[in-house]
Structure 1
Amino acid sequence: MARKNITRNKLPKPDVRQALLITRRNARMARSAHAYVRGNTSKFYEWLDGMESHALPEGPAIWICGDCHTGNLGPVADAEGRVEILIRDLDQTVIGNPAHDLIRLGLSLATAARGSNLPGLTTVHMMEALADGYERAFDEAAGDADIHAGKPEAVRVVMKEAVRRSWRHLAEERIEDLEPTIPLGPRFWPLAKRERREIEALFGKESLAELATVLRGGGEDADVEVLDAAYWVKGCSSLGRLRYAVLLDIDGAAVEGDDLCLIDIKEAAQAAAPRYPRVRMPRDNAERVVEGARHLSPSLGERMRAARLLDRAVVIRELLPQDMKLTIEQLTQDEAMKAARFLALVVGKAHARQMDSGERAAWLAELRRNRSKTLDAPGWLWKSILELVSSHAVGYLEHCRRYATEGGIK
């Protein structure tokens, strides 16, 4: 089938991808301090490793996101098309300390505030709003109607767009066309023959074919055919791992929106996030990611499967038109407060649904301890944000210096 895209001869061959992807990742992380924070999970856990023992409270042993920055939250649809804001990237998920997610989200928001040239006092109030939103998820007496009524504009805009999107929007955004092919170019690179063969074999398995047919309403016995596939240049911290876009046809005919299915295949690497000792988690990294998703974001978890491809663990999920990334870049003071409170509530609910009433009450009591007269937020949260903002600012500038030396940015 002819492609309306860049000729293959001008695109990277599979054997030279890795170096190009690492260069691209460095470039993306150098765009802003907030981009550096989002793309450098390991920096966060290096800081955590250097902390004194018991500097942070030990919350209940639950599944946590492990990389809870603003870019990893956004609209997610369930199999029936219902949409809500959830954690949408679970690469780092482990059974661990929920305090880590709260701190990581606070760091992301504080860095966004600095990038928006907001005064330091605004960051102080953001951390108070963060604590308030998170705690409400565990307080049976607290309502969250006022938080939903005061959603930040970025959330309102993305939710409004998400609920009206159709397959046409997904196709035009992801593959830039309604034709049943994936256009090669800057975002999609050609596959090696072995990659193509293994992807086709993957969807010949009943368990994975069912992922596409059941969610698309095709029935368990519907035929699944791989129409096209390409290497997907996507993400930031995950650049350099296996990532593929696969276009499937359900039951033939390739009728627009009814029979086409866009699949994301992503390599699952070992998590940098520390897990609690003596807890049982799947050893396979893909199974770990899927299990974490089922606990933290059930609407997403039900659309994911673990598999093996090219001898590596991969997570497979169908992309729905309503799945979108939440972008919070430029904030006003009012929007900063709303964003901190609302997103913390989202994370808090993902944590709270895994706890019984006793665990929720005990964790809430811990969160409300050791408040000062000048800060209505946990002291350990504020101290952590101060240290992390400082260390990431230095790390960002050093990253830019090294990358500029290599000739990557002008």
Structure 2
Amino acid sequence: MKTPRPSARLEPLSQLRNLKMARSAHAYVRGSTVQFYEWLHSQPGRNLPKGPAVWICGDCHAGNLGPTGDLKGRIDIHIRDLDQTVIGNPAHDLVRLALSLATAARGSDLPGVATARMLEEMMRGYEQAFEDDVDKEPPRPAQVKAGMRSAVQRTWKHLAQERIESTKPTIPLGKHFWSLSREERSALKTLCATPDLHTLVTSLKGRNKDDRVKMLDSAYWVKGCSSLGLKRYAVLLGVGEGDDQEYCLLDIKEAIAAAAPRVARAAMPRDNGKRVVEGARFLSPGLGNRMIATRVLDHGFFIRELLPQDMKLELDQLSQTDAMLAAGYLARVVGLAHARQMDMSTRASWMRELQACRSKTLDAPSWLWTSVVQLVGKHEKGYLEHCRRYALEH
């Protein structure tokens, strides 16, 4: 296909984002981060408890959790998308996760009572992360088991076929990759010659710090949903030489100001790329240690090498049992990311806050249930209007 000129990307990217969000109510929730935070700034959203100030994901929907690898080759389920990370209120992550789980349940045609049970399991899983015996892992739902199985078995060839649809040392232009301007290509080439990038790439297990790193190809990457329209590049590198050469795929993503509200006077980097990397190192250290921040053409970016083990969990066609297991398991992952930033007294205080405001009929905070009910209705209306405005034209 003919790719748009670099100067004419914005309109087709906007159209593509709108069509992606029209695919399902769950897709709409994943792509409507700003609308979620508009609700948080409204009167109902202001009634949430004020949790301790910690780094939060800021966009903690279920699709932003999944298997990730670390520098030593270990794999586990972590928060894997930190664009919106800020020092903020952990309650915001809980509500965002609960909303995405509720829409996943609706997409699986589960009864309304399943959503209530999912919120109960979600709170149990989250609170388990603050207990002493955090090494005792709860049962993994089928989707998590399948994701971990796939992650362990994947190789560079799987990543290449999935991401660039080729195992050749080139990035084919087409639907997912568009041409670069001369200025962009030159800036990326300069970036790939920097010591920081060399250190990042050669720090992966099995590579030598003296390995030669060379840029083989690069392209504009049409990827994601809420981030479509931002600058994003794919860079293919060769690491080493001759028969020992490995290929490496970099995701170079523009960092902009977070929509997630931050705690007043929080000490965070002013540079958005550095903010994302620092938040990642607190929330998902294995991933954060594989990232660096930089500037390209006077824009802030963060960079990571994509590993075959980095995957997104798909919560499609859930049974009620799997929905409840998934809610508890994913909330525990988020809880561990929050808990590691708190001392024991702060943990205890936050747990007391979460245990309050529960009714005889629902073992979850009333503010969480009320928030999800309001948000599901708000997003359902927004989704139908979005479909009328954008999907009917195609």
- TM-score norm. by structure 2 comes to 0.97
> For residues 398 and 54 of structure 1, do their structure 2 counterparts lie closer, same or farther at Cα, with a shift above 3 Å needed?
closer
% of aligned pairs identical? 59
Distance 1:171 1:53 in 2: 42
| Partners of 1:185 and 1:292 in 2: CA distance | 34
Per the TM alignment, residue 15 of structure 1 is displaced from its structure 2 partner at its CA by 1.4
How far does the alpha carbon of each residue in 1:122-143 deviate from its partner, in whole angstroms, 9 at most, with x for none?
A: 1111111111111111122687
SS of the aligned residue for 2:66 comes to strand
**Match of residue 329, structure 2, among 342, 345, 351:** 342
Q: 1:55 aligns with which of 47, 50, 61?
A: 47
Whether the 8 Å CA contact 2:221–2:232 is kept in 1: the answer is yes
**Mean Cα deviation higher: 220-229 or 334-343:** 220-229
The answer (yes or no) to whether the contact 1:136–1:143 under 8 Å persists in 2 is no
Q: Which of 266, 288, 297 is the equivalent residue of 1:279?
A: 266
Deviations 1:179-234 (A, max 9, x none): 11111111111111111100000011111121112226443333211000011110
Report the CA distance between 1:262 and its aligned residue.
0.8
Q: 1:302-317 counterparts in 2 under 5 A?
A: 302-317=289-304
Superposition pairs of residues 253-332 of structure 1, within 5 angstroms: 253=242, 255=244, 258-332=245-319
Structure 1 distance, partners of 2:133, 2:286, is 26
2:229 alignment counterpart: 240
Structure 1: gaps (5+ residues): 1-5
Structure 1 segment 145-164 matched on structure 2, within 5 A: 145=137, 147=138, 149=139, 151-164=140-153
Q: State the one-letter code of the partner of 1:166.
A: T
Is 2:174 the counterpart of 1:189? Answer: no
Paired residue for 1:215? 204
1:176 shift after superposition: 1.6
| Cα-to-partner distance string for 1:239-258 (whole Å, 9 max, x where unaligned) | 01011110111233374xx5
1:123 aligns with 2:112: no
Q: Specify the SS of the correspondent of 1:375.
A: coil
Query: Using the alignment, how far apart are the partners of 1:210 and 1:194 within structure 2?
Result: 25
Match 2:31 to one of 39, 43, 48: 39
Q: Are the structure 2 counterparts of residues 137 and 164 from structure 1 closer, same or farther at C-alpha, using a change threshold of 3 Å?
A: same
Structure 2: which 5+ residue stretches go unaligned? none
2-side partners of 1:306 and 1:39: how far apart?
24
Q: Is 2:383 aligned against 1:396?
A: yes
Q: What is the one-letter code of the residue matched to 1:383?
A: T
Q: Which residue number in structure 2 is paired with residue 3 of structure 1? A: none
- Residue 133 of structure 1 aligns with an amino acid whose one-letter code is G
- Aligned equivalents of 1:219, 1:67: Cα separation in 2: 36
Paired letter, 2:39: W
Q: Structure 1 residues 53 and 236 mapped into 2: Cα distance closer, same or farther (>3 Å)? A: closer
| Structure 2 CA distance for partners of 1:52 and 1:125, relative to 1, 3 Å | closer
Q: Is the 8 A contact 2:122 2:327 kept in 1?
A: yes
Structure 2 vs 1, CA of residues 165 and 141 (structure 1 numbering), >3 Å: closer, same or farther? closer
- The amino acid across from 1:23 in the alignment is Q
Does structure 2 conserve the Cα–Cα contact (< 8 Å) formed by 1:212 and 1:318?
yes
Moved more, 233-242 or 167-176: 167-176
Q: Partner residue of 1:198?
A: 187
Equivalent of 1:67 in 42, 55, 59: 59
Distance in 2 separating the partners of 1:216 and 1:62: 30
CA deviations on 1:265-292 (whole Å, 9 max, x unpaired) are 0001110000000110000000000000
Q: Contact (CA 8 Å) 1:66, 1:100: kept in 2 or not?
A: yes
Shift in Å, 1:53: 8.0
Deviations 1:341-371 (A, max 9, x none): 1000010001001111111111111110121
Deviates further, 188-197 or 86-95: 188-197
How does the TM-score come out when normalised to structure 1? 0.93
Output one character per residue of 1:307-354: Cα deviation in whole Å (capped at 9) or x when no partner. Answer: 011211011101111111111121111111001110000100010011
Return the match for 2:345 from 358, 367, 384. 358
Contact 1:247/1:260, CA 8 A, preserved across alignment: yes
Classify the secondary structure of the residue corresponding to 2:9. Answer: helix
> What's 2:159 paired with?
170
Runs of 4+ in 1 over 4 A off after TM superposition: 141-144
| 1:14 equivalent among 6, 23, 33 | 6
Structure 1 SS opposite 2:203: helix
- For the 8 Å contact 1:139–1:364, the answer to whether it is kept is no
RMSD of equivalent CA atoms: 1.5
Match of 1:225 among 214, 218, 223: 214
What is the distance in 2 between the residues matched to 1:310 and 1:68?
Answer: 30
Letter in 2 for 1:137: A
1:136–1:144 CA contact under 8 A, matched in 2: no
In 2, distance between residues paired with 1:293 and 1:90?
Answer: 6
The one-character-per-residue Cα deviations of 1:130-178 (angstroms, maximum 9, x if unpaired) are 1111111112268744x2x2x1111110100101111111112111222
Q: Within the alignment, does 1:25 sit opposite 2:17 as a pair?
A: yes
Query: After superposition, where does 1:349-388 map in structure 2 within 5 Å?
Result: 349-388=336-375
Structure 2 residue aligned with 1:140: 132
User: What is the 5 A alignment of 1:91-102?
Assistant: 91-102=83-94
Q: Counterparts of 2:26 and 2:55 in 1: how far apart (Å)?
A: 25
Equivalent residue pairs, number: 394
Q: Post-superposition shift, 1:116?
A: 1.1
